[in-house]
A and B are shown apart, each in its own frame.
Chain A
């Protein structure tokens, strides 16, 4: 490495910190969308770095589907204490109870799509004007085209054909009342970058990322966790297996990997040898070829 040349991971870190500071400077009520997944945990870590020695100047928002891994919730509460932060929870159950959304029925029922309404309602209720998310452009083709500062109209919609040009590091966060922005500081990171960064920075993760024994069943090429609210077909049987989560979302759509990896180093080796993308294990993306594009236009994460 030449003198005065940052490594690629340091350059990505610096870019993310710059973006987080832009959010704090340009918006009045930013919020960090926290899912309990590794990407949002990395965002929290980067936010600590961006504002040190001050505390993170925005709250965390968790959209709770009510179908979470309990380990994710425990970790969330621990982390909020650790950073002396503020947590806001938007409840999908509440959206169902108040009739804002109708629960899906049938074998593949998931609350994943319903989250969008809860998210937009929560953003409106607290008048958040910027929601920071951990989406990465390498995850999915609709995300590959999204700006770092991504404008949302007053219905929370994304218009892919009419995005503002994003030049140099000049981010235009101007908006009208009622509109908001989604901001993605780790847009340019890959899955491997995130894991290498977690290792290099020694970042704590919920233990479901590491190998553990769990009751699971197999459906359409994906291992899913058995849980009381999961409907199973007669042909499906619960087995006990050593698994870990490659991504962490709502239980109904988080595919599990058969794995014995119990350290970040093991996980990195496993990912390096894997031939399937991260979202290949996401049941929600399999619904149609343009599944993510459609959800994003409506205001999904």
Chain B
């Protein structure tokens, strides 16, 4: 079940965190290599310039478990095409079990990626609706799909990476992933409302909602409910609504 998968992977991640001071995203990359039938994992975290939401895939921090993954991250940004950019465009993962067969799809990326040593690539966008945070990109030196259980694990690992990036942004490392997968859609409605109240981006609104939940001790879902019910309104101050 979903809870078990979350719990198991989060426990593994927490164990790794205890040992090191590395960022969550880099630890997720390592965990991907340990848990999935892949050769390497990399991630690019979009650089965040305040008020610069329209910018596409800005080069930001790059993590990679080996030089091939680092090369693949670099390559996509250089040639401006590839699975991670397609993942952003579609909003879902891009899963390519046989990269060599996709020459027509990415004429510049494919030959160079194969040359680097990638035979299969799997990209997962790290995003919360329109808030683009980065991408998690896996590769294998042999062709073949990810298994079904691996796919589910990969999606959870991408969720953990997303959570890690957001926590890095606002400094609130709440051990609560439910807001990412919460079927209560009110959080996202609330983010849209708060961005108008603040005259800000969706990202800033999301961070402010989280900050308020954190500082007031009210669960995020409840904060969102109050915003949607129009009993809580945010203003352009530094802290709190």
A and B are interacting partners: no
